[in-house]
A = this chain, B = another copy of it.
Amino acid sequence: MILRLTRRYRFAAAHRLHAAAFSQEANQQLYGKCNNPHGHGHDYVLEVSVAGPLDEATGRVANPAVLDRLVAQEVLACLDHRNLNAEVAEFSDAPPTTENLLRLIRQRLLARWPETLARTRLAGIRLYETRRNIFELAERS
């Protein structure tokens, strides 16, 4: 019996969508008002899911405090109350779309996956840019 635990986090950030590969006109058409050169911002909601077997002794699939610390250190510290274009190195040459944010978050979590979460695996990440614009990355099980 594999159980899945999902924890929900929030961060606020500013960004501007602009792709270096395209002309100013193409960027404007592609991203609309999100291409505004002065930027705008969002309150992102992040859900991180881990999956694994039940530990009979503790009655838990994972220690949520460990997952919270991982997300705080590897993700929130570099994204919360930040300007994604100006302050996150990965976005110096890639547009800070929510899709690229998802990929970045996945890389950072996997790179530092702690021993204390070894019985579980990263099962999925969901990122709400707004309530009606939702992005997901499901890991293969």
Q: How many A residues touch the partner, as a band?
A: 35 or more
A109 within 8 A of B: no
A138 to B39 CA separation, bound complex (whole angstroms): 31
A residues neighboring B (CB under 8 Å): 1-10, 12-15, 17, 19, 21-22, 30, 32-34, 36, 38-43, 47, 54, 56-61, 63-65, 80-83, 86-87, 94-97, 99-100, 102-103, 130-138
Contact yes or no, A19 B95, CB < 8 A? no
Contact of A83 among B17, B38, B131 (CB under 8 A): B38
Chain A at the B interface: SS class: mixed
* Distance in angstroms between the alpha carbons of A103 and B61 in the assembled complex: 12
B99:A132 contact, CB within 8 angstroms? no
